Amino acid sequence: MFSLKMRASSNGNHVSGAERLVKEEQIEEISSELIKRAMNHENGVPDFINLKVEKVTEKINYIEHLKIKTINSNSKETSREFARNILKKELEKYFLKHGKDIEQIDVLIDSAFKIIDAGNMRGAAILDLEGNRLEKSSDRGIRVRNIDTAEELSKKILKDESLTERTVDAIAIATKVVNCDIIAELCTSDNFSYTTGYVATKDGYFRILNLKDSGQVGGRVFFAESSDIDELYDKLENMPVIVY
């Protein structure tokens, strides 16, 4: 298997990114698809595209995908309340486990929303239970690498007309993340017109319509129990995972 990583930017600002794990005979075809994806991104034509092809030498981990649940909402305010409630339910377990004041959960979630609304990060922010930023670079964030969605699952997802290629990408990230010592994930798309976001926990992948306004930037935040950032980085970046 080979890891393909595409990153595209314009004037130093992130435009598009994607990850695939493919067989040797698929490299040329999938590389072309990734470049076309970068060149046709709604956020603009990039002036820089980096495509990295690297042989995977570690054992591939196959992980069953999180159950996809869709929450319909007509307003950002209502959607964010849904997201907040899902996050609070999960975070409360860890606050109680560590003897922390559960009244501070809302403060932590507020911090996460501020991060995703600020946008323009290439990767995700990581927050511990105290609200501290753990990523090594607050501008770059951390990218979840060496991931893909099994072809059968991709086809199954795309048969549902309400789901898209973004869902295929996101379910791979979300599933790997919650299996790498991350409590929960909050995400909105960096595509300006795509307003559906999600919350991921071990209970599922919750697609939430209208989690941001059209034209608004997006972002991604991981909530972490552990402060061992080196171990987190190693798992999120280097552990090869195909989600089925």
Structurally, the chain folds into a number of domains equal to 2
Supply the pTM of this predicted model: 0.91
**Is residue 114 domain-shared with residue 223, that is, in the same domain?**
yes
pLDDT band at 137 (very low <50, low <70, confident <90, very high): confident
Q: Of the candidates 20, 36, 57, which is a domain's last residue?
A: 57
What's the 3-state SS for the chain? CEEEEEEEEECCEEEEEEEEEECHHHHHHHHHHHHHHHHCCCCCCCCEEEEEEEECCCCCEEECCCCEEEECCCCHHHHHHHHHHHHHHHHHHHHHHCCCCHHHHHHHHHHHHHHHHHCCCCCEEEECCCCCECCCCCCCCECCCCEEECHHHHHHHHHCCCCCHHHHHHHHHHHHHHCCCEEEEEEECCCCCCCCEEEEECCEEEEECCCCCCCCCCEEEEEECCCCHHHHHHHHHHCCEEEC
Q: Are residues 121 and 30 in the same domain?
A: no
My answer on whether 45 and 126 are in the same domain is no
Residues 6 or more apart whose Cβ sits within 8 Å of residue 156: none
Domain holding 172, by residue range, is 62-243
Model confidence pLDDT, tens digit, residues 7-53? 998 988 888 888 999 999 999 999 999 999 999 988 789 999 999 99
Same domain, 71 and 176: yes
Span 168-223, pLDDT tens digits: 999 999 999 999 999 999 999 988 899 999 999 999 999 999 999 999 999 999 99
> How does the average pLDDT of the chain come out, rounded?
94
